[in-house]
Copies of this chain bind each other. A is one copy, B any other.
Amino acid sequence: MGRIDDRLAQLGVTLPTPPAPVAAYVPFVQAGKLVHISGQVSVDASGGIKGKLGAGVTLGQGQAAARLCGLNLLAQMKAACGGDLDRVARIVKLGGFVNVAPDFDPIPQVINGCSELMVDVFGDLGRHARSAVGVANLPLGFAVEVDAVIEVT
């Protein structure tokens, strides 16, 4: 077990099986030291969290949805690093997309559900640049999607 695996155990986090892409693409691509990870939606083994913030989905549910995206990103990172999360040198950038009704705007608070997980798991190496926007819909109606750029050793 590596340092980050230990930290996940300490946090009580069990990573999901890396979700398979729902379409004609792959979960991640490495170019040089940068790995681009495909957008991960708020899915889990029991179906995940779907719907719109501001129209049925609460802020708390939205934050839980963003955390699910983060767990799926972690699972993809682990796969991208051949199983060794200690090879993650930095979370560089998260792109956060929230499925919203047009009048819902506490969008940063939603994406924090993913951002805070990264900092909990990786400490200072988990501190990332970020964009966060509210979109008209997401694949299969999921509540949140987050993609990532990370640096690996």
Q: Which A residues fall within an 8 A CB radius of B?
A: 21-29, 31-34, 36-39, 52, 90-95, 97, 100-109, 111-112, 115-116, 119, 127-141, 145, 147, 149, 151
In chain B, what residue has the closest Cβ to A111? Answer: B23
The answer to whether A135 and B135 touch across the interface, beta carbons within 8 angstroms, is yes
Listed residue (A22, A94, A116) with the most chain B CB atoms within 10 angstroms of its CB = A22
Partner of A24, one of B115, B129, B140, B147: B115
Beyond A27-B129, A52-B102, A106-B140, list 11 extra A-B contacts (CB 8 Å): A22-B108, A23-B109, A25-B128, A25-B129, A32-B33, A39-B130, A105-B140, A108-B140, A129-B147, A131-B147, A135-B136
The answer to whether B107 and A26 touch across the interface, beta carbons within 8 angstroms, is no
Residues in chain B near residue A129, CB distance under 8 A: 25-29, 36-38, 147
The answer to whether A136 and B102 touch across the interface, beta carbons within 8 angstroms, is yes
Per the bound structure, the CA–CA distance linking A21 and B129 in Å amounts to: 9
With contact pairs A94-B25, A127-B29, A132-B39 given, residues A103 and B151 touching in the complex (Cβ less than 8 Å)? no
